[in-house]
Homo-oligomer: A and B are copies of this chain.
Amino acid sequence: MSGFATALPAGRKRRGEGHTRREEILQAAKELFLEQGYDLTTIRRIADRVGISAPALYLYFKDKEALMLALCDQTFSHLSEAIDEIEKTVADPLERVRRFGEAYVRFGLSHPDEYRLVFLNPNIPEPLRRTGHRMPTDDPTAPGVGGALVFKRLVTIIGELDASGTKLNYPPDTCGELCWMGLHGLVSAFIMKPDFPWSNRDLLINGMLDVHLKGIVKA
């Protein structure tokens, strides 16, 4: 047993100059997805950038969708780490919620393609669409669940806000859902209509956070 899931047998040299072809592919795909979006990024172009043929890509990923989902999970784990950091360093529950919101929005805006794929993609190919966005699943290792887990953590944090004695205007679940919906609407709008003349971006982000934080806790 190698203990090195996706690697070759130990000592084995590879064709390409890179050491882990899978990582090379992920990197190239990530660059291209970010440059041109999902649709315009073709398997052939990814392969070209890596320096291999298109079919070689299928040795590492079942299809284009699996490749993108692998990238999504990889990306969402970064957001999850940012939330870990907040939970470790921020004590005040209300401040935690705000910091979560800031991190969430920042993440969405700097990873629009991954955000789109996970949170607002109804046109995903059939097998993926059948399971919605995998939210109902309870297997955290399944591909594509990163977004759902992050959402659940916000609900948890707001639940702690309630437990810490802060009086809420709605049940904790409802507060969490409202807050997430607001942030999600904000991020979606920026992503889907980037050229629209929105008023100042930071004003909108802070405004959304203020509106929801004030609206959630009892006056």
Binding site for B on A (CB under 8 A): 36-40, 116-117, 119-126, 129-133, 135-136, 169-171, 173-174, 177-178, 180-186, 188-189, 192-200, 203-204, 207-208, 210-212, 214-216
Q: B residues within 8 A CB of A125?
A: 39
The answer to whether B194 and A181 have CB atoms under 8 Å apart is no
> How far apart are A201's CB and chain B's nearest CB, in angstroms?
10
Closest residue on chain B to residue A116 by CB atoms: B122
Q: Chain B residue with minimal CB distance to A176?
A: B199
A200-B182 Cα distance, complex, nearest whole Å: 17
Query: How many copies of the chain does the oligomer comprise?
Result: 2
CB distance from A207 to the nearest CB of B (A): 5
- Chain B residues with Cβ below 8 Å from A116 are 122
B residues near A36, Cβ cutoff 8 Å? 126
A184→B198 CA distance, assembly (Å): 15
Q: B174 and A135: CB pair below 8 A?
A: no
A208 to B184, CA, bound (A): 13
One of B126, B173, B192 near A39 (C-beta < 8 A): B126
Chain B residue at minimal CB-CB distance from A208: B178
- Alpha-carbon separation in the docked complex, A120 to B116 (Å): 9
